[in-house]
């Protein structure tokens, strides 16, 4: 009988391990912004289907604006990185939080720079639920922040109050995805960091307006 009990216990434990990913709670961002995200569509934006975000293990939040010079210099590099790596990392997503002066400016910025990631709708930025993505912003932009599914900050453009910039965070995102296969395949897809191919354009930050 002891052997039987051990066998049953072992099978039960194996089943728990097998279904652990399915039992994992959804990330903290999804329920807060699932109905507040948009994506670029022509000259305008349309509602973004946030279903995939429900299982995201890592979420990057990009604070930027069309009027910000350093942002306009960095965004094309971020777009290239995202296009190259998103499909290989299904449990990662990036959300754009705009500091533009109008919804029209935000939509034009997303279209002009070919942003494929979702964005917090312009008219939702002040909603209390949206604090799930707005609360991580620093004193200025461009600002990039990486959080895990619990909302814990893994990398920030500000370290101890000092601005280190978004490129440092992008490097950390790449390393995190590469070191955690549960979040998808290795992010780089080739030897060396993809960020090595990007030349730094600015180390200054533009105050958000």
100: CATH: 3.40.30.10
In a domain, 47, yes or no: yes
Termini Cα distance of the chain: 71
In a domain, 9, yes or no: no
Looking at the DSSP bridge assignments, the partners of residue 92 are 58
pLDDT value of residue 24:
53
What the block records as the tokens of 141 is 């932009």
Neighbours of 195 (CB within 10 A): 18
Domain that holds residue 95: 25-207
In a domain, 48, yes or no: yes
In a domain, 108, yes or no: yes
Round to whole Å and give the CA distance between 154 and 152.
6
Round to whole Å and give the CA distance between 99 and 157.
16
pLDDT value of residue 25:
58
- For 142-195, how does the pLDDT look when each residue is reduced to its tens digit (9 = 90+)? 999 999 999 999 999 999 999 999 999 999 999 999 998 654 444 444 444 445
In a domain, 15, yes or no: no
In a domain, 131, yes or no: yes
Classify residue 27 by its DSSP letter: P
In a domain, 166, yes or no: yes
Question: Phi and psi of 18, rounded to 5°?
Answer: -65, -35
């Amino acid at each position: 009988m002891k052997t039987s009990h051990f066998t049953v216990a072992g099978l039960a434990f194996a089943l728990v391990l097998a279904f652990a990913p399915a039992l994992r709670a959804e990330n903290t961002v999804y329920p807060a912004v699932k109905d507040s995200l948009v994506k670029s569509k022509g000259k305008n934006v349309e509602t973004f289907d946030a279903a995939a975000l429900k299982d995201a293990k890592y979420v990057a939040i990009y604070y930027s604006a069309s009027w910000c010079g350093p942002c306009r210099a960095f965004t094309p590099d971020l777009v290239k990185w995202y296009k190259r790596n998103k499909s290989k990392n299904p449990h990662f997503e990036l959300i754009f939080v705009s500091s533009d002066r109008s919804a029209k400016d935000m939509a034009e910025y997303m279209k002009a720079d070919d942003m494929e990631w979702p964005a917090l709708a312009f008219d939702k930025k002040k909603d209390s639920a949206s604090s799930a993505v707005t609360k991580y912003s620093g004193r200025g932009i461009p600002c990039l922040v990486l959080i895990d599914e619990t909302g814990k900050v893994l990398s920030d453009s500000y370290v101890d109050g000092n601005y280190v910039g978004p490129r440092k965070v992008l490097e950390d995102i790449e390393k995190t995805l590469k070191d955690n296969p549960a979040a998808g395949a290795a992010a780089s897809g080739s030897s060396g960091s993809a960020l090595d191919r990007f030349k730094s354009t600015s180390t200054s930050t533009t105050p958000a307006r």
